[in-house]
């Protein structure tokens, strides 16, 4: 193990991060390449799976990797500019708490953009777009309704993905990496259907995030994310 600047040995996960980062910088692994699995890295380095997982998770947070649940870990495409804020997959957030994530897909289809959707995506009204609606669960408790419209030209294979195995966020991050984003957060009163999906009472408060993301100059996605206020805390770091 190499020593850190303070003279103390560097943690094992930092060694894994250095090796992966060096391979990416040297062009051994190129954008969109799949890197070895956690099991393969455990066998290669002899460290615990927890150590490997932490290294991969931190490299994902730093934007070097993209992890697709049930598919694998890939080298991220270099960003043309820094994102305005960090946006993480809800599946990764839940996994980081050592909890279980699952997703129930309610809708996944091509639709003509209505006026609101067209404005959000910057396309003419009536343009064919992709629309999805799903509920995310943490240990079988519903914690988020995700209602998303997607630019079909930017992500033509969006409807072909299995979102019980990965998340829209992870897939979009791989195909059209985030370069700019917009968040609008507000407190809302959920509809009767939203109360039913989230298994909450009629007057329980909810948080609503309206999230619009760009890849270079193209608006890729607009998502309406509803969280039950009593079950979920939103936390993030923002930088310019």
The DSSP secondary structure of 20-59, one letter per residue, reads HHHHHHTTSS-TTPBPPPHHHHHHHH---HHHHHHHHHHH
Of residues 6 and 211, which shows the higher confidence score? 211
Q: What is the pLDDT of residues 110-158, one digit of tens each?
A: 999 999 999 999 999 999 999 999 999 999 999 999 999 999 999 999 9
User: What is the set of domains in the chain, with CATH numbers?
Assistant: 12-75 (1.10.10.10), 80-235 (3.40.1410.10)
The overall average pLDDT reported for the chain is 85
Residues 50-85 have pLDDT tens digits of 999 999 988 987 878 887 767 788 888 664 333 334
pTM strictly above 0.85: no
Inform me whether the pLDDT recorded for 24 exceeds 80. yes
Q: Label residue 93 by pLDDT band (50, 70, 90).
A: confident
Q: How far apart are CA 235 and CA 238, in angstroms?
A: 10
Cα separation, 25 vs 13, whole angstroms: 18
Classify 3 as helix, strand or coil. Answer: strand
Question: Among residues of the chain, what percentage have pLDDT more than 70?
Answer: 86
Yes or no: say if 150 and 129 are a contact pair by the CB < 8 Å rule. Answer: yes
Query: Which of these, 193, 201, 147, lies nearest to 228 by C-alpha position?
Result: 201
């Amino acid at each position: 193990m190499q020593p850190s600047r303070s003279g103390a040995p560097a943690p094992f996960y930092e060694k894994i991060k250095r090796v992966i980062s060096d391979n990416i910088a040297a062009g051994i692994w190129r954008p969109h390449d799949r890197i070895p699995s956690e099991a393969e890295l455990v066998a290669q380095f002899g460290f615990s799976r927890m150590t490997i997982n932490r290294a991969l998770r931190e490299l994902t947070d730093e934007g070097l990797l993209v992890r697709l649940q049930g598919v694998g870990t890939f080298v991220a495409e270099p960003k043309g500019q820094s994102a305005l804020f960090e946006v993480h997959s809800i599946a990764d957030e839940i996994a980081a708490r050592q909890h279980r994530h699952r997703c129930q897909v309610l809708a996944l289809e091509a639709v003509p953009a209505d006026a609101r959707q067209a404005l959000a995506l910057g396309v003419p009204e009536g343009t064919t777009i992709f629309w999805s609606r799903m509920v995310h669960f943490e240990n079988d408790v519903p914690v988020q309704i995700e209602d998303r419209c997607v630019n079909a030209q930017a992500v033509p294979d969006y409807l072909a993905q299995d979102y019980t195995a990965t998340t829209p966020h992870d897939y979009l991050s791989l195909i059209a990496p985030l370069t700019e984003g917009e968040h609008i957060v507000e407190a809302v009163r959920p509809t009767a259907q939203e109360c039913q999906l989230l298994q909450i009472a009629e007057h329980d408060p909810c948080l609503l995030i309206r999230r619009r993301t760009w890849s270079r100059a193209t608006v890729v996605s607009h998502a309406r994310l509803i969280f039950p206020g009593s079950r979920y805390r939103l936390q993030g770091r923002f930088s310019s």
